[in-house]
Structure 1
Amino acid sequence: MSLLKTTLDANAFACILEFVPKPSAERFATLETLMARTQLCGWPLTVAIGDRVGSALDQSPLDAFASLSRPVPALLHFSGKDRERHDLLSQLQHMDAAGLDQLLLLTGDRLPGHTPGQRPVRYLESVAALQIVRQARPHWLLAAALNPFKYQEAEGGAQYCKAEKKLAAGADLLILQLGFDIDKHREALDWMQRQPRPKPLIACIMALTEGRAAMLEHVAGVTVTPSMRTLLAAEAAVSKAYAKDRANQRLALQVIGLKLMGYAGVHLSGIHELAQFEALEQAIATLQSRFSTLEDWAPAWQAAWQAPDQPPVTFHPPGHAWRLGQREINASKPAKARYHLLSAMHHQLFSRTTPLSKAFGWAVTRPLWRSPWGAHWLHRLERGVKRPMVGCDTCGSCRLEDTLYICPETCPKGLANGPCGGTQLDRCEFGDRECVHSAKYRLAVSVGRTDVLRERLIPCVQVEHRHRSSWPLWFAATSATPAASQVNAEPEFND
């Protein structure tokens, strides 16, 4: 079952076929037919089984795997949507029983029906999930996601900072979000090669047609530009068959280009029929011998995105073309003043070293606050003080020092370690606000604290800690490091 790990260890090119479980016997039969091929153009073939892509009621990856008539090399997904730590630990046990030891850990896109301000939906974010699994299963192959297709400095910089955390938390490889911008593929690869311990990168790709472009408008974090849609519409106007063939040729060229670039493999999305698979294999076989270097390949890729009487295609949103390394942002003076004020307040009250913090710590750790009545009123006091200041939702494990005093509970998903992949030009996936992690990145750059965003791995909040005061737990800890103090208070399999 460890074909992917074997392939990566041998520095061979891997093909991962994405499968989204649906209640369809025909869909499962097609998957088994495809996986019986065992390879694409001689490259080892593995299936990735998606998790909660549509809703929390989707068939689980484990159940989908068990539904196959014979085992196949599989990379299961685990989405943190509406899940807690115990859900992840339970899945690990079931995977052990099934002989599976590979997992792609995702925070997950917006859960259908989750509306901010109504019932809170918690997301077990990928950094904490990686830590949990790495400690519980040290020898498993663990994957995580990276979305480099960002075109504003704050959202792009925050993505790469979080990716560094994922590597530190135990990720063995990163799989990119679906994307078509080859410059961004190069950017991600260059970034990875600069890491102290580079890991393999796998690119998620799809044959793009006009219909799929329309569908992807509703998929968070995927960029399809107006000029791309114009070209796709012109191809569809010729004929459906012509548009389909052009999309397949581009997909084949993208596979070849990514391999030449140095990617460890591709994650193929949108292939649901044997005919699609065979058409792609034939196109790759026909084109591959023509290109031995990226310099040979680049003109063919550019030509594939051109058509007579059509404007040039650009892969970045109009007016937004940020690339990693460009620095142009700065936090506002009020934002910086607020940070310095809250930092000073935190030092005085919570450092455990000043006379005031020692007195405050003594006061909130009295036995009085362990009674139900006392715990209730201490919780109300903390919430009353902190909610107007930072939007606190009294998670019970305060992480403000590790998030530059921007409360992670103000993120609709409650993410503390950095953004999800669903932002668009700094806007939250939910569409009603700026991403709090973009604001946090701007502030970190302005006050010289980007190390916090790259290095501090923040544990997940324990469900039993929520909606109670964090103060007694904070001062009961033996370590002065926020993340470490939370770890010391956690049960087995600490984050």
Structure 2
Amino acid sequence: MSPLQQALNEGRFVCVLEVIPQHSPSRVAALAQITRRGYLAGWPLMPSFSDRVGLHSDMSPMEGAAALGDPASSLLHFSGKDRERTDVLQQMASMKARGLKQLLLLSGDRLPGHHPGRAPVRYLESVPALQIAREHGPDWLLGAALNPFKYREEEGCAQYLKAQKKLLAGADFLTLQLGFDAAKHMEALSWMRAQARMKPMLACVMRLTGKRAAMLRDVPGIVITASMRELLAREQLVSPAHADARSLERLALQIVGLQLMGYAGIHMPGVHTLNELLSLERAIAELRDSVSSLADWREQWHASWQMPGMVRVCFSPGPGGWKRGQSDVAATRGERFRYTLLSAVHEKLFNRRGWLGRAFGWSVTRPVWKAGMGADALRAVERAVKRPLVGCDTCGSCRLQDTVYICPETCPKGLANGPCGGTSLNRCEFGDRECVHIVKYRIAKSANRLPVLAQRLIPHVEAGRRHRSSWPEWFEQE
């Protein structure tokens, strides 16, 4: 059993220290000091190595762990951007050879240089990646991500629906996106406690300074509001030492509060030296004596985000932020009509037991369409029919029935099981459109098909199976 898995099973609060692996001997030496210590404020401390979040010159998670001697407590990340099944299996094989069996599977944020309208970049999303990893590592500790910091019904509910899929696919724990809204932390815990089988959750925390707030402003999925930035700037005006002390106090206070809420631990980037860790430990020790209850903590938490003469900090990026349980959106008339029409056509033309479906199935499974010019012609016909209707890119394994007739190929990342964590107020992280999974949620809600979005695990389409007609495979499945 892996060290993190053992700690989670025993109910011990854990601290996962996230590191971006870099070719820096001084960084490696500083991290080695921290990992040798192995704890923060009495809690077990374990290194975590991120994947594809920095420059292309950054090291891989495998190289980062190797630089420290492959400690068994290492949690390695796997980002699915521009990746395939073979990439997961290769990383798992290398990890297993080194005695490492803890993996955090992420779809990943936008790949640098990936622009909609150009050659598509396909992402191995977390749900099928979890299925692949669980199949090949039944005893591994597997994690996935959840972003509860959403302030519209569609994007918030879509996040939780996809998180249900991640649990079904084999996730042993969930790690939350970085966030500072305590109400959303409580909301995520409430959701987890309502699941048939509860899993541990870690909350991502970071010491937030004015400089970091500016850096994180454009990071998809992280909410840093204008009032938060204004407070940080005012603190800096008082003095850099004052701002530094306040940011440290807030980080320590947030960690104490998350333990009181019932989180299994924290996932913490941004600590680079042993001295930073010791300063945080001292701040936590001081706060433990003054925070006796969650109600007491809430009062101190809100006070830590206030200054005389300033309005109270708001953690919601817009007015009237959505809360879990609120339900007031519905599909538009056009969305409902489109779904009704396409589902009716599908039921007639692709029903393997109806006479029209059998006739169509017989015609598209003839040997002439199997290879060469015949296969190319059939693919061209399917694309010509479906692209104007749904944006089809002839992936070869049509999933429209499982996605309420919203084609996954219209998502810039090609995600089929649900949204990534990068949406903001229903907008795609690429910024040029409404997230297609938001539309999917509205339609599924209006058509009473929300369980499909939580329970239907849609497999990854392998690169070698793309760019062919999906029609023969549909009828040959029987």
> Which TM-score applies when normalising by structure 1?
0.95
Give the Cα–Cα distance (whole angstroms) in 1 for the partners of residues 393 and 34 of structure 2: 48
- Conserved in 1, the CA contact under 8 Å of 2:201 and 2:264? yes
Please show how residues 42-441 of structure 1 align to structure 2 within 5 Å: 42-69=42-69, 71=71, 73-441=73-441
Identity among equivalent positions (%) equals: 58
What does residue 477 of structure 2 align with?
477
Shift of 1:293: 1.5
Q: Aligned letter for 1:332?
A: T
Deviations 1:192-234 (A, max 9, x none): 0000001001000011111111011121000011111111000
Rate the CA distance shift 1:55–1:395 in 2: closer, same or farther, 3 A: farther
1:446 Cα offset (Å): 1.2
RMSD over equivalenced CA pairs, Å: 1.0
What are the ranges of 5 or more consecutive residues in structure 1 without an aligned counterpart?
479-495
What SS class does the counterpart of residue 144 from structure 1 fall into?
strand
How far off its partner does 1:310 sit? 1.3
1:240-259 deviation line (CA, Å, top 9, x unaligned): 12111100000000000000
What amino acid is aligned across from residue 346 of structure 1 in structure 2? H
- How far apart, CA to CA, are the structure 2 residues paired with 1:238 and 1:146? 36
After TM superposition, the structure 1 stretch with the greater mean CA deviation from structure 2, 29-38 or 408-417, is 29-38
Question: Secondary structure in 1 aligned to 2:105?
Answer: strand
1:71 offset after TM fit, Å?
A: 2.5
Do 1:55 and 1:111's aligned partners in 2 also have CA atoms closer than 8 Å?
no
Q: Is this contact kept in 1: 2:130–2:142, CA < 8 A?
A: yes
Taking the aligned partners of 2:58 and 2:33, their CA distance within structure 1 comes to: 22
Contact 2:122–2:413, Cα closer than 8 Å, also in 1: yes
* C-alpha separation in 2, matches of 1:198 and 1:316: 27
Letter in 1 for 2:26: E
Unaligned regions of 5+ residues in structure 2, if any?
A: none
Q: Which amino acid aligns with 2:452?
A: V
The residue type paired with residue 347 of structure 1 is E
User: Is this contact kept in 1: 2:72–2:99, CA < 8 A?
Assistant: no
Contact map agreement 2:2 2:72 (CA 8 A) in 1: no
- The residue aligned with 1:481 is none
Q: How many residues align?
A: 478
Instruction: State whether residues 19 and 48 of structure 1, in contact with CA within 8 Å, keep that contact through their aligned partners in structure 2.
Output: yes
* 8 A Cα contact 1:56 1:111, kept in partner: no
Would you say the 8 A contact 1:35–1:72 is kept in 2?
no
| Partner in structure 2 of residue 491 of structure 1 | none
Deviation at 1:292, TM superposition (A): 2.6
How many Å apart are 1:72 and its aligned residue? Answer: 5.2
Q: Over residues 349-387 of structure 1, what are the superposed CA-to-partner deviations in whole Å (9 max), with x where a residue is unaligned?
A: 112111111111111111111121111101111111100
Counterpart in the other structure of 1:484: none
The separation in 1 between residues aligned to 2:5 and 2:153, in whole angstroms, is 34
The alpha-carbon deviation at position 308 of structure 1 amounts to: 1.1
Instruction: State TM-score, norm by structure 2.
Output: 0.99
